[in-house]
């Protein structure tokens, strides 16, 4: 197989796999054709190859992600190292706050959620491990953006600050001012900017180079927002960062 053919095959395989999500666990061939734009015959052949590799499996007449994808996810750094090291600290933070605690990384322009702890009476959020939200309107995202290269921030601003709620910050100068404040305090806030009725406090997990590796947050409904203790969140993120550096000195 020529190099270009191999590249094309890999790209198409990822396009197919990316069609699945927690809300779309099973998809028919027709749905995959509609979402990928690939010819039906090509997609049928590619799906067969992915099934043979264990990346997909059949569920009646539909397709779903195969067990091989679950096995591979365990080798991902965010799952194998970051989550495992962070979890004891996240559990302590939850015990202190009894509100929804989340761990996330920065992925492109978005926050990629790694893990979450929530109780019976905590805020119901539209986020979940493996899900994404725009970085500019979440406390987690702003905590990481404040410690990211300037070109990353400028790129997000250039692509537009689209509102997710009536309180989303859409003015570039105001966002930049928030990020400068976060650089000083290592605390980021989201006052109903991404979800109406929910407030959030976050802090960055910093590597040895001063860049954000990840971020930790606590979210609560607006009436309970005063209970959130920013210092507890910042302390949790700081301890996770130290534990990561102890585990991997170059982190």
Structure tokens at 116: 């979450």
- The token duo for 240 is 């996770």
CA of residue 35 relative to chain centroid, distance: 22
φ/ψ bin of 58: left (φ > 0), alpha (ψ from -120 to 50), beta (otherwise) = beta
Tens-of-pLDDT digits for all 251 residues of the chain? 444 555 688 888 889 988 887 667 889 999 999 999 999 999 999 999 999 888 899 988 899 988 777 666 655 656 678 888 999 999 999 999 999 999 999 887 889 898 999 877 777 777 777 788 999 999 999 999 999 999 999 999 999 999 999 999 999 999 999 999 999 999 999 999 998 999 999 999 998 889 999 999 999 888 887 778 899 999 999 999 999 988 875 55
The pLDDT value recorded for residue 229 is 86
pLDDT for the residue numbered 250: 55
Alpha helices by DSSP H, listed for 28-171, are 29-36, 40-53, 67-73, 77, 83-97, 139-145, 150-158
Cβ pair 114, 139 in contact under 8 A: no
Identify the three-state secondary structure at position 29: helix
What separation, in Å, do the N-terminal and C-terminal C-alpha atoms of the chain show? 38
Q: Other C-beta atoms within 10 Å of 225: how many?
A: 19
Looking at residue 101, its pLDDT comes to: 95
60: left (phi over 0), alpha (psi -120 to 50) or beta: left
Please name each of the domains of the chain with its CATH number.
3-72 (1.10.10.10), 77-247 (3.30.450.40)
What per-residue confidence (pLDDT) applies to 218?
94
Helix (H) or strand (E) segment spanning residue 180: helix 172-185
For the CA atoms of 218, 224, 227, 232, the dihedral, rounded to the nearest 10 degrees, stands at 0
Short-list 36, 7, 8, 9, CA closest to 20: 36
Residue partners of 128: CB distance under 8 A and separation at least 6: 22, 113, 116
> d(Cα 145, Cα 156) in Å, to the nearest integer?
10
Residues with Cβ within 8 Å of residue 22, at least 6 apart in sequence: 128, 130, 131
Residue 105 token pair: 């990384």
Distance (Å, rounded) from C-alpha 7 to C-alpha 176? Answer: 39
Instruction: Write out the two tokens for 92.
Output: 């302590």
């Amino acid at each position: 197989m020529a190099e270009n053919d191999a590249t094309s095959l890999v790209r198409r395989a990822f396009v197919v796999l990316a069609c699945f999500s927690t809300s779309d666990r099973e998809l028919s061939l027709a749905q995959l054709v509609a979402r990928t734009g690939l010819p039906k015959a090509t997609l049928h052949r590619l799906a067969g190859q992915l099934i043979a590799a264990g990346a997909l499996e059949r569920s009646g007449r539909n397709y779903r992600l195969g067990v091989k994808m679950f096995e591979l996810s365990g080798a991902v750094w965010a799952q194998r190292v970051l989550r495992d090291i962070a979890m004891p600290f996240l559990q302590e933070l939850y015990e202190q706050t009894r509100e929804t605690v989340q761990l996330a990384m920065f992925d492109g322009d978005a926050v990629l959620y790694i893990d979450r702890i929530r109780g019976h009476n905590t805020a119901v959020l539209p986020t979940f491990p493996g899900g994404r939200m725009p970085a500019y309107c979440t406390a987690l995202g702003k905590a990481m953006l404040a410690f990211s290269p300037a070109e990353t921030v400028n790129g997000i601003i250039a692509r537009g600050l689209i509102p997710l709620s009536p309180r989303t910050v859409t003015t570039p100068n105001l966002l930049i001012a928030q990020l400068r404040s976060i650089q000083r305090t290592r605390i980021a806030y989201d006052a109903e900017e991404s979800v109406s009725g929910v407030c959030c406090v976050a802090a960055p997990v910093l590597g040895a180079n001063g860049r954000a590796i990840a971020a930790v947050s606590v979210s609560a409904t607006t009436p309970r927002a005063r209970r959130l203790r920013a210092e507890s969140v910042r302390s949790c993120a700081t301890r996770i960062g130290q534990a990561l550096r102890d585990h991997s000195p170059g982190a």
